[in-house]
Structure 1
Amino acid sequence: MRDSERRWVAGFVANIGEATTALSELWAFFYGLVLAWKYGIRALRIESDSQLDIQLINSRHDPVHPYATLLAAIRRKLGQDWLVNITHTYREGNRAADWLSKHSLVYPYDMHELVNQPHGLASILQDDLMGIAFERRVVATSSSSSSRL
Protein backbone atom coordinates (compact mmCIF):
# COMPACT_ATOMS: atom_id res chain seq x y z
CA MET A 1 0.00 0.00 0.00
CA ARG A 2 1.18 3.45 -0.86
CA ASP A 3 -0.20 6.86 -0.07
CA SER A 4 -1.28 9.47 -2.61
CA GLU A 5 2.37 10.52 -2.99
CA ARG A 6 3.30 6.89 -3.79
CA ARG A 7 5.20 6.46 -0.52
CA TRP A 8 5.20 3.11 1.28
CA VAL A 9 2.51 2.72 3.96
CA ALA A 10 2.51 -1.05 4.48
CA GLY A 11 2.41 -4.23 2.50
CA PHE A 12 2.09 -7.95 2.73
CA VAL A 13 3.22 -11.21 1.27
CA ALA A 14 1.01 -14.26 1.27
CA ASN A 15 2.21 -17.78 0.76
CA ILE A 16 -0.87 -19.75 -0.27
CA GLY A 17 1.01 -22.72 -1.68
CA GLU A 18 0.26 -24.01 -5.15
CA ALA A 19 -2.52 -22.09 -6.86
CA THR A 20 -3.60 -20.75 -10.20
CA THR A 21 -2.64 -17.22 -11.11
CA ALA A 22 -6.29 -16.17 -10.87
CA LEU A 23 -6.64 -17.60 -7.37
CA SER A 24 -3.40 -15.97 -6.23
CA GLU A 25 -4.59 -12.60 -7.51
CA LEU A 26 -7.95 -13.01 -5.75
CA TRP A 27 -6.19 -13.73 -2.46
CA ALA A 28 -4.09 -10.60 -3.03
CA PHE A 29 -7.33 -8.59 -3.46
CA PHE A 30 -8.73 -10.04 -0.25
CA TYR A 31 -5.61 -9.56 1.88
CA GLY A 32 -5.10 -6.07 0.45
CA LEU A 33 -8.63 -5.10 1.47
CA VAL A 34 -8.13 -6.56 4.95
CA LEU A 35 -4.89 -4.63 5.41
CA ALA A 36 -6.26 -1.35 4.06
CA TRP A 37 -9.25 -1.56 6.42
CA LYS A 38 -6.92 -2.33 9.34
CA TYR A 39 -4.91 0.82 8.56
CA GLY A 40 -8.06 2.95 8.51
CA ILE A 41 -7.91 3.66 4.79
CA ARG A 42 -11.43 4.50 3.64
CA ALA A 43 -10.68 5.66 0.09
CA LEU A 44 -8.67 3.13 -1.86
CA ARG A 45 -7.59 2.54 -5.44
CA ILE A 46 -6.62 -1.02 -6.26
CA GLU A 47 -4.54 -1.52 -9.38
CA SER A 48 -4.46 -5.06 -10.70
CA ASP A 49 -2.85 -6.59 -13.75
CA SER A 50 -5.51 -9.32 -13.81
CA GLN A 51 -8.44 -8.34 -15.99
CA LEU A 52 -9.93 -11.78 -15.35
CA ASP A 53 -10.06 -11.24 -11.59
CA ILE A 54 -11.47 -7.74 -11.97
CA GLN A 55 -14.24 -9.24 -14.12
CA LEU A 56 -14.85 -12.04 -11.60
CA ILE A 57 -15.15 -9.54 -8.76
CA ASN A 58 -17.41 -7.16 -10.68
CA SER A 59 -19.78 -9.77 -12.10
CA ARG A 60 -22.23 -12.19 -10.62
CA HIS A 61 -20.76 -15.63 -10.21
CA ASP A 62 -22.20 -19.09 -10.06
CA PRO A 63 -22.39 -20.30 -6.44
CA VAL A 64 -20.59 -23.48 -7.51
CA HIS A 65 -17.71 -21.56 -9.09
CA PRO A 66 -14.42 -22.89 -7.64
CA TYR A 67 -13.65 -19.42 -6.22
CA ALA A 68 -17.21 -18.59 -5.07
CA THR A 69 -16.39 -18.48 -1.35
CA LEU A 70 -13.40 -16.18 -1.83
CA LEU A 71 -15.30 -13.96 -4.28
CA ALA A 72 -18.12 -13.63 -1.73
CA ALA A 73 -15.60 -12.65 0.97
CA ILE A 74 -14.08 -10.02 -1.34
CA ARG A 75 -17.53 -8.62 -2.12
CA ARG A 76 -18.37 -8.42 1.59
CA LYS A 77 -15.16 -6.43 2.14
CA LEU A 78 -15.99 -4.16 -0.80
CA GLY A 79 -19.45 -3.58 0.71
CA GLN A 80 -18.01 -2.02 3.88
CA ASP A 81 -18.30 1.71 4.46
CA TRP A 82 -15.55 2.96 2.15
CA LEU A 83 -14.80 3.97 -1.40
CA VAL A 84 -12.86 1.38 -3.40
CA ASN A 85 -11.95 1.88 -7.05
CA ILE A 86 -10.53 -1.11 -8.90
CA THR A 87 -8.59 -0.40 -12.09
CA HIS A 88 -6.51 -2.43 -14.50
CA THR A 89 -2.82 -1.78 -15.01
CA TYR A 90 -0.19 -3.73 -16.87
CA ARG A 91 2.31 -5.79 -14.90
CA GLU A 92 4.94 -3.12 -15.60
CA GLY A 93 2.71 -0.63 -13.77
CA ASN A 94 2.43 -2.93 -10.80
CA ARG A 95 6.06 -3.89 -10.29
CA ALA A 96 5.99 -3.60 -6.49
CA ALA A 97 3.12 -6.09 -6.18
CA ASP A 98 4.81 -8.37 -8.70
CA TRP A 99 8.06 -8.26 -6.69
CA LEU A 100 6.25 -9.04 -3.43
CA SER A 101 4.39 -11.98 -4.96
CA LYS A 102 7.62 -13.49 -6.25
CA HIS A 103 9.19 -13.24 -2.80
CA SER A 104 6.23 -14.67 -0.88
CA LEU A 105 7.44 -18.26 -1.14
CA VAL A 106 10.27 -17.70 1.34
CA TYR A 107 7.62 -17.07 4.02
CA PRO A 108 5.61 -19.77 5.82
CA TYR A 109 2.02 -20.36 4.70
CA ASP A 110 -0.30 -17.46 5.56
CA MET A 111 -0.41 -13.70 5.07
CA HIS A 112 2.47 -11.71 6.56
CA GLU A 113 2.12 -7.98 7.09
CA LEU A 114 5.15 -5.87 6.20
CA VAL A 115 5.27 -2.65 8.19
CA ASN A 116 8.66 -1.74 6.76
CA GLN A 117 9.38 -2.00 3.07
CA PRO A 118 11.67 -4.89 2.14
CA HIS A 119 15.17 -3.81 1.08
CA GLY A 120 14.90 -5.31 -2.38
CA LEU A 121 11.76 -3.31 -3.09
CA ALA A 122 13.33 0.10 -2.48
CA SER A 123 14.60 0.66 -6.02
CA ILE A 124 11.21 -0.22 -7.55
CA LEU A 125 9.41 2.20 -5.24
CA GLN A 126 12.03 4.86 -5.98
CA ASP A 127 11.48 4.41 -9.73
CA ASP A 128 7.74 4.88 -9.16
CA LEU A 129 8.34 8.04 -7.15
CA MET A 130 10.50 9.44 -9.95
CA GLY A 131 7.98 8.48 -12.62
CA ILE A 132 10.38 6.18 -14.45
CA ALA A 133 8.45 4.20 -17.05
CA PHE A 134 9.28 0.77 -18.35
CA GLU A 135 8.64 -0.40 -21.86
CA ARG A 136 6.12 -3.11 -22.51
CA ARG A 137 7.27 -5.46 -25.22
CA VAL A 138 4.60 -6.79 -27.52
CA VAL A 139 5.30 -9.38 -30.17
CA ALA A 140 3.22 -8.85 -33.28
CA THR A 141 2.70 -11.74 -35.63
CA SER A 142 0.98 -11.91 -38.95
CA SER A 143 -1.08 -14.78 -40.17
CA SER A 144 -1.32 -15.60 -43.84
CA SER A 145 -4.69 -17.22 -43.25
CA SER A 146 -6.18 -13.88 -42.25
CA SER A 147 -5.29 -12.18 -45.54
CA ARG A 148 -7.72 -12.42 -48.42
CA LEU A 149 -7.46 -11.54 -52.08
Structure 2
Amino acid sequence: MGGLAKSIGVSTVLQVELWAIYVGLQVAWDYGLEIPQIQTDNKQVVNLLDDHNAIAHFLSLVRAITNMRKRAWITNILWIPREDNQVADNLTKTAPPRHFQLVIHDTPPTEIGKHFSQ
Protein backbone atom coordinates (compact mmCIF):
# COMPACT_ATOMS: atom_id res chain seq x y z
CA MET A 1 0.00 0.00 0.00
CA GLY A 2 1.36 3.40 -0.90
CA GLY A 3 0.36 6.72 -2.31
CA LEU A 4 1.49 9.90 -3.95
CA ALA A 5 1.61 13.61 -3.27
CA LYS A 6 2.36 16.62 -5.42
CA SER A 7 1.96 20.36 -5.05
CA ILE A 8 0.26 21.97 -8.03
CA GLY A 9 0.16 25.54 -6.80
CA VAL A 10 -2.88 27.76 -6.40
CA SER A 11 -5.92 26.21 -8.02
CA THR A 12 -9.61 25.43 -7.56
CA VAL A 13 -10.85 22.44 -5.58
CA LEU A 14 -12.16 20.90 -8.81
CA GLN A 15 -8.83 21.30 -10.61
CA VAL A 16 -6.87 19.90 -7.68
CA GLU A 17 -9.06 16.80 -7.55
CA LEU A 18 -8.85 16.28 -11.32
CA TRP A 19 -5.06 16.68 -11.26
CA ALA A 20 -4.81 14.16 -8.42
CA ILE A 21 -6.84 11.63 -10.40
CA TYR A 22 -4.89 12.28 -13.60
CA VAL A 23 -1.49 11.87 -11.95
CA GLY A 24 -2.74 8.91 -9.91
CA LEU A 25 -3.89 7.14 -13.07
CA GLN A 26 -0.53 7.82 -14.74
CA VAL A 27 1.27 6.24 -11.79
CA ALA A 28 -1.17 3.30 -11.68
CA TRP A 29 -0.55 2.67 -15.39
CA ASP A 30 3.23 2.89 -14.94
CA TYR A 31 3.03 0.40 -12.05
CA GLY A 32 1.00 -2.00 -14.20
CA LEU A 33 -2.15 -1.93 -12.09
CA GLU A 34 -5.03 -3.54 -13.96
CA ILE A 35 -8.04 -2.45 -11.91
CA PRO A 36 -7.31 0.88 -10.21
CA GLN A 37 -10.12 2.31 -8.12
CA ILE A 38 -10.53 6.07 -8.14
CA GLN A 39 -11.93 7.44 -4.88
CA THR A 40 -12.91 11.06 -4.40
CA ASP A 41 -14.92 13.05 -1.89
CA ASN A 42 -16.01 15.41 -4.68
CA LYS A 43 -19.39 14.43 -6.17
CA GLN A 44 -18.92 16.93 -9.01
CA VAL A 45 -15.82 15.04 -10.13
CA VAL A 46 -17.67 11.72 -10.04
CA ASN A 47 -20.48 13.19 -12.14
CA LEU A 48 -18.04 14.74 -14.63
CA LEU A 49 -16.00 11.58 -15.11
CA ASP A 50 -18.98 9.21 -15.26
CA ASP A 51 -20.82 11.35 -17.81
CA HIS A 52 -21.05 9.60 -21.17
CA ASN A 53 -20.13 12.94 -22.83
CA ALA A 54 -16.96 13.41 -20.75
CA ILE A 55 -14.76 12.88 -23.80
CA ALA A 56 -16.12 16.15 -25.23
CA HIS A 57 -16.01 18.17 -21.99
CA PHE A 58 -14.58 21.68 -22.18
CA LEU A 59 -12.07 20.94 -19.39
CA SER A 60 -8.98 19.31 -20.88
CA LEU A 61 -8.30 17.36 -17.67
CA VAL A 62 -11.72 15.69 -17.88
CA ARG A 63 -10.97 14.69 -21.48
CA ALA A 64 -7.47 13.46 -20.58
CA ILE A 65 -8.75 11.35 -17.66
CA THR A 66 -11.54 9.95 -19.85
CA ASN A 67 -8.98 8.93 -22.48
CA MET A 68 -6.80 7.29 -19.82
CA ARG A 69 -9.78 5.34 -18.50
CA LYS A 70 -10.32 3.90 -21.99
CA ARG A 71 -6.96 2.12 -21.93
CA ALA A 72 -6.73 -1.66 -21.61
CA TRP A 73 -7.75 -1.76 -17.96
CA ILE A 74 -10.81 -1.41 -15.77
CA THR A 75 -11.25 1.78 -13.74
CA ASN A 76 -14.01 2.51 -11.29
CA ILE A 77 -14.74 5.85 -9.70
CA LEU A 78 -16.38 6.01 -6.29
CA TRP A 79 -17.58 8.87 -4.17
CA ILE A 80 -16.43 8.48 -0.59
CA PRO A 81 -17.17 11.00 2.20
CA ARG A 82 -14.07 12.88 3.36
CA GLU A 83 -14.63 11.83 6.97
CA ASP A 84 -14.44 8.19 5.85
CA ASN A 85 -11.13 8.66 4.07
CA GLN A 86 -8.84 10.54 6.43
CA VAL A 87 -5.82 8.64 5.09
CA ALA A 88 -6.17 10.19 1.62
CA ASP A 89 -6.98 13.58 3.11
CA ASN A 90 -3.83 13.48 5.24
CA LEU A 91 -1.73 12.10 2.38
CA THR A 92 -2.47 15.23 0.36
CA LYS A 93 -0.77 17.26 3.06
CA THR A 94 2.55 15.37 2.74
CA ALA A 95 3.61 17.15 -0.45
CA PRO A 96 6.38 19.63 0.33
CA PRO A 97 5.23 23.22 -0.32
CA ARG A 98 6.63 24.85 -3.47
CA HIS A 99 8.03 21.45 -4.47
CA PHE A 100 6.27 20.53 -7.69
CA GLN A 101 7.87 17.13 -8.22
CA LEU A 102 5.79 14.01 -7.73
CA VAL A 103 6.46 12.22 -4.43
CA ILE A 104 5.62 8.51 -4.52
CA HIS A 105 5.27 6.68 -1.22
CA ASP A 106 5.91 2.94 -1.58
CA THR A 107 4.84 2.54 2.04
CA PRO A 108 2.54 4.70 4.15
CA PRO A 109 4.36 7.83 5.38
CA THR A 110 4.77 8.11 9.13
CA GLU A 111 2.43 11.13 9.09
CA ILE A 112 -0.49 8.89 8.17
CA GLY A 113 0.66 5.55 9.57
CA LYS A 114 -1.49 6.03 12.67
CA HIS A 115 -4.63 5.58 10.55
CA PHE A 116 -3.59 2.02 9.64
CA SER A 117 -3.33 0.87 13.22
CA GLN A 118 -6.89 1.81 14.12
The aligned counterpart of 1:42 is: 34
Matches within 5 A, 1:1-149: 8=1, 10-59=2-51, 60-61=53-54, 65=58, 68-106=59-97, 108-127=99-118
TM-score, normalised by the number of residues in structure 1: 0.70
- 2:46 touches 2:77 (CA, 8 Å); kept in 1? yes
- 1:54 touches 1:86 (CA, 8 Å); kept in 2? yes
Quote the offset at 1:47 in angstroms: 1.6
Identity percentage of aligned residues: 26
- Aligned residue type for 1:49: D
- 2:7 touches 2:99 (CA, 8 Å); kept in 1? yes
Quote the offset at 1:25 in angstroms: 0.5
Change (3 A) 1:110 1:70: farther
- 2:49 touches 2:66 (CA, 8 Å); kept in 1? yes
- 2:37 touches 2:78 (CA, 8 Å); kept in 1? yes
Gaps of 5+ in 2: none
Change (3 A) 1:107 1:119: farther
Quote the offset at 1:125 in angstroms: 2.4
Quote the offset at 1:64 in angstroms: 7.4
* Secondary structure of 1:43's aligned partner: coil
- Aligned residue type for 2:91: L
Gaps of 5+ in 1: 1-7, 128-149
Aligned pairs, number: 117
Q: Which one scores higher on RCO, CA 8 angstroms, separation ≥ 6?
A: 2
CA RMSD of aligned residues (A): 1.9
- Aligned residue type for 1:27: W
TM-score, normalised by the number of residues in structure 2: 0.87
- Aligned residue type for 2:87: A
